[in-house]
Amino acid sequence: MSEFCRQCSEEYFGKDMGDLADLSKPEDTEQKLYPGVICEGCGPTQVDHTGKCIASDCLEKHATWRKCPWDVCHITTLPRTSSPCKFAITDKAGNPDCGYG
């Protein structure tokens, strides 16, 4: 049976099918403990408790971890300045995805 991480599932099927969700607990994610899995879309990777790929070295390069200079997440709240965040990157669909949240 094929299994997909959250990002690949959304890309291929238009929604998260939850294939790789609940393999760990939220507490594990908080402690940065991630199970190793094989996603049919991005290959060998690691996912958090929601099934989101967190690996910057997966075949799709889902997570590009960069140090965000903002005190709060700039995707869900307005940054302290009116200029766009220099650190923000987008996923293949053009949605904000800097690796946080």
Number of domains in the chain: 2
Task: Give Cα 3 to chain centroid, integer Å.
Answer: 16
- Are residues 24 and 51 located together in one domain of the fold? yes
Answer yes or no: do 1 and 38 share one domain. Answer: yes
Q: Do 22 and 52 lie in a common domain?
A: yes
H-helix or E-strand containing 14? none
Give the sign of the dihedral formed by CA 57, CA 59, CA 65, CA 66: positive
Verify that 48 and 73 share a domain, yes or no. Answer: no
Residue pair 4/19 in contact (Cβ under 8 Å)? The answer is: yes
Per-residue pLDDT, 33: 92
Question: Among candidates 43, 53, 47, which has minimal Cα distance to 97?
Answer: 53
Q: How far is 55 from 28, CA to CA, in rounded Å?
A: 15
This prediction's pTM: 0.63
Q: Domain range for residue 88? A: 64-101
47 and 17 belong to one structural domain: yes
Instruction: Dump pLDDT digits (tens) for 44-68.
Output: 999 999 999 998 888 887 875 444 5
C-alpha 87/C-alpha 90 separation (Å) is 10
10, 51: one domain? yes
**Model confidence pLDDT, tens digit, residues 11-27:** 899 999 999 999 999 99
d(CA 14, CA 35): 24
